[in-house]
Chains A and B, each alone.
Chain A
Amino acid sequence: MNWDSLDAWWWPFLFIVVAGWIATDMWRWLGVLVGNRLRDDSALLIWVRSVATALVAAVIAKLIIYPNGTLADFPLWLRVGSAVIGFGVFLAAGSRRPWTGILTAIVLVVVGRLLTAG
């Protein structure tokens, strides 16, 4: 019962429906049922929002520290350093202009990569 088990055109699609679509949407539907019961200003909603934010923070940290693909060839110090400096610039520039920090981080990582690639 894996991706290549059946030589029918519809099998990969069925695989995606079960292992992809249902596997993700069941959490979204559960989220609707839970969210529908939360009051706008309740402590429980603040907890849910904290958990959601910490989950996304974990995704962010993993994308920078343990990336897939070609970003893994960029040195770790360059990835973390560019992100930290970019975030610092963002804080200094004020949160109304998030692109300043994003641009700083991107420029640093590109220049750093060009220099370290030799």
Chain B
Amino acid sequence: MQSPATQAGGSYWFIQGMRGIVSLPAFILFCSFVGFTGFAAESGIGRAEAVFMTGSVWALPAMVLLVTSALGNVALPAAFLTVTLSSIRLMPMVAALIPEIRTSKTRTIALLAVSHFVAVTAWVFTMERIQKVPPEHRLKFFAGFGITLTSCNMMIVGVGYSLVDALPPLAAGTLFFLTPIYFVTSIWASARDMAVYLAMIVGLVLAPLFHQVAPEFDILYTGIIGGTIAFGLERLIRARKAKSAGRAKS
């Protein structure tokens, strides 16, 4: 037996997800996309191409690299390689999100379809709020948010294309600064286990070091090595706690 509230839930939770575009994370992403629009227009990418790129790629760092490759007359296979290496991070992000939004009845094809809308902002937003959504409606909640957020940003790029020249440098710089500050605070605020805090600290420290050694792969190395260090530390702390708890008992 389903309760009336759960029956009504389907479209209700989709709309709750849509309402997420009126939120701090969505606002910050809009600001970042205004910044991207300026960059694309400056680089000579057409309006239609910039809008299409926003909807189809939907990952800001990948889009910046794609524009840079187009601009630098890089051959298609090399452009593919650059973009794809920068996007490996999407795999663990999606893999971490999937157990949060699926139930035993969720079809894989539906998960494949909504996975397109996973990017840093949608990931942070969803990991932060998903616990409050009933498990059977989480996929709809995420789809409502992801589809609306992507569509709005396509519109921002389309409309903003003619307007971005007017942006003063102080405002543009501050818009770019907003994104990392928002990411670090919201991930920290939404963390539910020690491993996330540790991974954040280790990652922030390792990234500039790896950037000196291997600038092309710094994000990838930081993720795999930093994440593994954080995981090891978490296991160690957990084992130590269990040990001292066991000793207290005996």
Contacts and interface: CB of A to CB of B under 8 A. Distances in A.
Interface of A: 1-4, 12-13, 15-36, 38-40, 43, 45-71, 73-74, 79, 82-83, 86-87, 90, 95-96, 98-99, 101-102, 105-106, 109-110, 113-114, 117
5 contacts: A18-B76, A24-B87, A69-B35, A98-B182, A117-B170
Contacts of B234: 46, 50
A35 B142 CA distance: 16
A31 B177 contact: no
B218 A15 contact: no
A108 to B, nearest CB: 10
A16 B35 contact: no
B174 to A, nearest CB: 6
B177 A71 contact: yes
Contact of A65 (B76, B99, B208): B208
B219 interface: yes
Nearest to B179: A63
Contact of B184 (A26, A29, A83): A83
Contacts of B71: 3
**Chain B binding site: helix, strand, loop or mixed by DSSP?**
helix
B64 interface: yes
B17 interface: no
Interface in B94-125: 94-99, 102, 108, 111-112, 115-116, 118, 120, 123-124
Interface of B: 24, 35, 38-39, 46, 49, 52-53, 56-59, 61-64, 66, 69-71, 73-77, 79-80, 83-84, 87-99, 102, 108, 111-112, 115-116, 118, 120, 123-124, 169-170, 172-174, 176-189, 193, 195-196, 198-204, 206-208, 210-211, 218-220, 222-228, 230-231, 234-235
Contacts of A26: 84
A15 B80 CA distance: 9
Contacts of B124: 56
A29 B46 CA distance: 29
Contact of B187 (A19, A45, A53, A69): A53
Given A2-B74, A36-B111, A56-B203, A106 B57 contact: no
Contacts of B227: 47, 50-55
Contact of A90 (B188, B195, B199): B188
A96 B14 CA distance: 25
A75 to B, nearest CB: 11
Contact of A19 (B38, B80, B96, B111): B80
A62 B221 CA distance: 13
Contacts of B61: 59
B49 A13 contact: yes
A32 B94 CA distance: 6
A69 B175 CA distance: 11
With most chain B CB atoms within 10 A of its CB, the pick from A21, A28, A60, A99 is A28
Given A49-B96, A63-B176, A114-B170, 17 more contacts: A2-B76, A3-B70, A23-B80, A24-B58, A28-B90, A28-B116, A32-B94, A52-B92, A55-B93, A57-B207, A57-B226, A59-B219, A60-B180, A63-B180, A71-B174, A73-B173, A98-B182
A29 B59 contact: no
A3 B79 CA distance: 10
